[in-house]
Amino acid sequence: MPFLVISIVPLLASAVLQVASGWIAFVSVLNTLCACVDLLLASSVLIQIPSTAIVRFKSWKIFWKEHDTGGQKRPL
């Protein structure tokens, strides 16, 4: 939802109202690029961390450890 409000709605409003603003275009493009980076980082986390892991965030670091799923032992 923030992506739509900050990136798309101002551009549509500018087009409808026929107002040309370089500042609105700059902010919209910058937010779009940041949203793209967020999606890339989230997908890399989802791909690299096992689905049974417990994930913890501490400031800018992400820690995870594999959760014991039950009585089965994994071979070393």
The structure tokens 């087009």 sit at 15
The whole-model pTM stands at: 0.53
Q: Is the pLDDT of residue 76 over 80?
A: no
pLDDT given for residue 26 in this prediction: 86
pLDDT in tens, 30-55: 888 888 888 888 888 888 888 888 88
Task: Return d(Cα 74, Cα 68) in angstroms, integer.
Answer: 10
C-alpha dist (Å) from residue 75 to 10, 72:
56, 10
Share of residues in the chain with pLDDT > 70 (%): 89
